Structure 1
Amino acid sequence: MGVSVRDDETGGAAPRLSEFVKAYDVRGLVGSQLTSDVARAIGNAFAVQLAERDATSVVVAYDMRDSSPELAGAFAEGVTTAGLDVVMAGLGSTDLLYFASGHLDMPGAMFTASHNPARYNGIKMCFAGAQPISLDTGLARVRDEAQAVLDGEAQPVVAATPGTVSERSLVAEYADYLKSLVDLTGIRPLHVVVDAGNGMAGYTVPAVLGDLPLTIDAMYFELDGSFPNHEANPLEPANLVDLQAEVRRVGADIGLAFDGDADRCFVVDERGEPVSPSAITALVATRELAKAPGASILYNLISSRAVPEIVGENGGQAIRTRVGHSFIKAEMARTGAVFGGEHSAHYYFANFFNADTGMLAALHVLAALGEQDGPLSDLVAAYSRYAASGEINSTVPDASIKLDQIRAWAADHDAEVDELDGITVTLPDGGWFNVRASNTEPLLRLNVEAADEPAMGALRDEILGLIRS
């Protein structure tokens, strides 16, 4: 059953945008928070700001959720009312929208809630050239001006000449562009299992991988925003189980899993074992450095310490960043880095408008695997040097008290501390952990890495005990 995008008929006040306009995007419950009226008001406020930047058009795409086409249409009404044109790209992944924004040099809006359940939807907006927008760079103004319209305190901006809406499918151009960046025509034939999770990879994977020397076993390619098979969030191990089993069953060379809006890609080796996103970051970094010797590579601070080691060994300059796409993209623009990776499986490429694309990362992994004869597990072993916990969340009543306790613990253990993003503690033996507070929930997020599994487990358990005591 679809989720209605109509306003809640409770007679209540307009939705409070501050409750679901996040630091970098919009993500809320359809019908009670994100409605057609809200999308229309946001589109109008966004267009007003874009007109001040001399934009004349906005490209819009949307995912497979039942609510997405209507919300995207309402947003387009708000944009055209303000006098800007809309290029409606239709169905697409988030990285397809970033491609469209860069390729057409237009600001863009993607309607998706990524891996969130069907009752959610959202809007990811960007300036022309896929430049990120955040609360600090314009999203707060969009939120406030849209709220004023919804509350009846202001009227939407109505241009003397309204804009127009045209339709343009960009999936073929997107696929051609990606394949121009990584040559797979000469690789050995590979057997690949792809789990699209009923998300947008079911639409984009055939366009990108369909004519390459690959045998593709498709899992859950049917577009279905109710996610009938499993949540479209491969970061959770439970959502990789089907892919792992299928890779083992058919004897595939590699498995790929995408999230709901297909901007993140997770990799499983021929044994069905997950490959760390840090190992993928290091692998892709070596390939990019082979093309651009001495270039800068970005990695976020919860990535494995193997990443900066391998970047340095390959002649590159490793630059550590905070967690989050806006920080990565800003640093790429500032430093001229050619590539950046996050441990959440977001991968950013200078030649993809500094934007993140799981599909391009997948092409690099397929090329690296197909250019040699060994299995994927052997290939990635060189990039997997340490034992990591993955991210562990703990509910805490007062994060600041726990962070103070961690600072005291670090002082007692002669450890180095930095606070670029949360608290990162590095021990004399090289083991380290990071603890970050969630921006939206009463959670602390813990990541631990050490030389081997016993050392990692001991450090993880000690810090978890401190956090959860």
Structure 2
Amino acid sequence: MADLGQIVKAYDVRGVYPDQLDDRLAELFGAAFVEVTGAAAIVVGHDMRPSSPHLAASFAKGAVRRGADATLIGLCSTDQLYYASGALDLPGAMFTASHNPARYNGIKMCRAGAAPVGQDTGLAEIRALAETWLADGAPPPETAGKPGAAGTITRRDTLKDYAAHLLSLVELSANRPLKVVVDAGNGMGGHTVPTVFAGLPVDLVPMYFELDGTFPNHEANPLDPANIVDLQARVLAEGADLGLAFDGDADRCFVVDERGRGVSPSAITALVAERELAKHPGGMVIHNLITSWSVPEVVREHGGTPVRTRVGHSFIKAEMARTGAIFGGEHSAHYYFREFWNADTGMLAALHVLAALGGQSGPLSELLASYDRYVGSGEINSTVDDQTARVAAVRDAFTDRQGVTIDELDGLTVTTPDWWFNVRASNTEPLLRLNVEARDEPTMSKIRDEALTLIRT
């Protein structure tokens, strides 16, 4: 039996095309997806990577062989696929490798209403079926008991409906005009932003809106400081009010203020949490364990209840569904909304930032000052050969220190009254990810450097 363990991750499929993920395998995944979800119909979208249209079509082919109807929505952002899944009440699949380099592709899957599919919610079963059929060397079997009863394939454009839904959730018509630079990174933001921003009181300055899955200008990963240098320079050159950077599949949004300085996603989480709590007093707000201390503080200050959880969209969405939370945010610039089927949409978070900034007269840096209370390292990635051994070395070095508490909800989190850090393994790459926060810069730098030395030794 073939082993798909290298590409089936905790909450998606991710691999190099065509060495690890090809059209044949996509067809098997499509058939297995229908079998596991029991879907009579599905919706499929894809990003701008050269391999994405072929993979999406193959996935639909497999679904159709199992008797399901497939609606292809073509080029879309991941949150546009979630919109289609929610609005049409259909399970969905999005072909994208997000911010990974051009040679990668992948599949993000969800049940009807954008409910997540992860290892514990169907992905393990999908993998097992695909492995079995792959070992057989034949096409995925037709619907049991109904040979020849294939489903149908139709096409549908959801972009305008997606934009209208987002704009129904945030009021911007009374805003002062804002000059906004948007770096789409040659990703799907170049497809969605023009439609979403049309008619808003926004002077849009586009950067790298040409769809190009080879990413000729920079990687579409705005959390890497090297990838927002162009945006920062352009914000200053244009005298813009702010800058927005989207990742490759445009489900994440990173913000740059009027000074050209990157804004912590935790500050954005706190800002949006306050706005959502104003609409839904007393609500619960989810934050992962890597967000700043400022997030639960702001939530409590505005009458809400913060709920701490693991990193990753399937975990956040499951916790939102379980608790009925109104909003959730992650350090990686994923933002989740109850009004968006508990799914993540960086575009909706961006609209909240525009609404908050345009509703008052001050600059963005001034608006966000009350939400940015601590000094953070940002996420620092280290390539390591043995993730488990390196994490164990960090744990051993800090376990017996006075005032230290340790938990392993997700990776290793070490906390004291004055600082905390988390080190965890990537689900998609051979990396350890370190995040550090402290009450002042010297303390943060000291703990960061000590942890990095242990990780990289």
TM-score calculated relative to the size of structure 1: 0.93
CA distance in 2, matches of 1:466, 1:18: 28
Matches of 1:415 and 1:402, distance apart in 2: 19
Give the match for residue 270 of structure 1: 258
Name the amino acid aligned to 1:240: I
| CA positional deviation for 1:391 | 1.5
Q: How does 1:382-397 map to 2 (within 5 A)?
A: 382-397=370-385
Deviation at residue 56 of structure 1 after TM alignment: 1.4
Question: What is the DSSP-based 3-state SS (H/G/I as helix, E as strand, rest coil) of the residue aligned with 1:385?
Answer: coil
Q: Deviations over 1:111-162 (max 9, x none)?
A: 1111112211111111101000012221122112122222226762313321
* Letter matched to residue 157 of structure 1: P
Q: Would you say the 8 A contact 2:382–2:433 is kept in 1?
A: yes
SS in 2 for 1:151: helix
Question: Structure 1: which amino acid aligns with 2:116?
Answer: P
Structure 1 residues not aligned, in runs of 5+: 1-13
Post-superposition shift, 1:71?
1.2
- 1:31 is matched with 18
Give how far 1:453 is off. 1.1
Q: Does 1:142 align with 2:126?
A: yes
Name the counterpart of 2:411.
Answer: 422
Shift of residue 212, structure 1, vs aligned partner: 0.5
Alignment map for 1:378-457 (pairs within 5 Å):
378-408=366-396, 409-428=398-417, 430-439=418-427, 442-457=430-445
CA shift in 2, pair 1:150/1:467, >3 Å: closer
The answer to whether residue 100 in structure 2 is matched with residue 116 in structure 1 is yes
Structure 2 gap ranges (5+) = none
- Alignment of structure 1 residues 232-311 onto 2, 5 Å: 232-311=220-299
- Secondary structure of 1:238's counterpart equals helix
Aligned residue for 2:5? 18
Distance 2:94 2:241 in 1: 33
Shift of 1:16: 4.1
Question: Which residue matches 2:75?
Answer: 91
Distance 1:370 1:212 in 2: 11
- What is the one-letter code of the residue matched to 1:30? Y
Paired residue for 1:73? 57
Asked if structure 2 preserves the Cα contact closer than 8 Å seen for 1:389 and 1:449, the reply is yes
| Structure 1 residue 398 displacement after superposition | 4.1
- Secondary structure of the 1:282 match is helix
Question: How far apart in 2 are the matches of 1:422 and 1:355?
Answer: 24
Q: CA RMSD in A?
A: 1.6
Aligned partner of residue 90 in structure 2, secondary structure: coil
Cα gap change, 1:400 to 1:70, in 2 (>3 Å): closer
SS of 1:224's equivalent?
coil
CA shift for structure 1 position 241: 0.4
Q: 2:136 matched to which residue of 1?
A: 152
User: Does structure 2 retain, via aligned residues, the 8 Å contact 1:243–1:255?
Assistant: yes
Give the count of matched residue pairs: 452
Q: Compare 303-312 and 139-148 and name the one that shifted more.
A: 139-148
Q: Is the aligned partner of 1:209 residue 2:197?
A: yes
Go from structure 1 to structure 2 and tell me whether the alpha carbon gap of 1:34 and 1:398 turns closer, same or farther (over 3 Å shift).
closer
In structure 2, the partner of 1:46 is: 33
Give the letter for the 2:155 counterpart.
Answer: E
- Pair 1:59 & 2:59 matched: no
Q: Is the 2:326–2:337 contact (alpha carbons within 8 Å) kept by the matching residues of 1?
A: yes
CA contact (8 A) 2:9 2:427 kept: no
Q: Which residue in 1 is equivalent to 2:91? A: 107
CA deviations 1:362-397 (Å, max 9, x no partner) are 000000000000000100111000100111223445
1:269 and 1:440 map into 2 onto residues whose CA distance is 30
The separation in 2 between residues aligned to 1:123 and 1:440, in whole angstroms, is 12
SS state of the match for residue 177, structure 1?
helix
Contact kept? 2:37, 2:122, Cα under 8 Å: no
* Partner Cα distance (2:28, 2:415) in 1: 47
AA matched with 1:343: H
Amino acid at match of 1:416: T
Kindly provide the amino acid, as one letter, of the partner of residue 426 in structure 1. T
Q: Is the 8 A contact 2:436 2:447 kept in 1?
A: yes
Give the aligned residue type for 1:417: I
Give me the whole-angstrom Cα distance separating, in 2, the residues matched to 1:444 and 1:221.
Answer: 32
Give the structure 2 partner of residue 377 of structure 1: 365
1:176 corresponds to 2:164: yes
- Residue 222 of structure 1 aligns with which residue? 210
Instruction: State the Cα deviation string for residues 17-75 of structure 1 (Å, max 9, x = none).
Output: 22212121111111222111111111111112232xxx311001111111111111111
Partner of 1:3: none
Q: Residues of 2 paired with 1:197 and 1:364: CA distance?
A: 21
Deviations 1:304-352 (A, max 9, x none): 0011111111111011111111111111011110000000000000000
Distance 1:466 1:19 in 2: 27
Q: Matched residues in 2 for 1:221 and 1:397: separation?
A: 37
Once residues 159 and 313 of structure 2 are traced to their aligned partners in structure 1, the CA distance between those partners, rounded to angstroms, is 23
> Could you tell me which amino acid in structure 1 is paired with residue 76 of structure 2?
G
**TM-score by structure 2 length?**
0.96
Is the Cα contact below 8 Å between 1:102 and 1:130 reproduced in 2? yes
The residue correspondences of 1:359-374 to structure 2 (distance < 5 A) are: 359-374=347-362
1:238-294 CA distances to partner (integer Å, 9 max, x unpaired)? Answer: 000000000000100010000000000000000110000000000000000001111
- State which drifts further: 112-121 or 341-350: 112-121
The AA in structure 2 aligned to 1:425 is V
Q: State the AA in 1 paired with 2:53.
A: P
Aligned to 1:11: none
Q: CA 1:403–1:15 in structure 2 vs 1: closer, same or farther (change >3 Å)? A: closer
- Matching residue of 1:185: 173
Deviations 1:410-466 (A, max 9, x none): 4223212222112222223x2111122334555432211111112211221222233
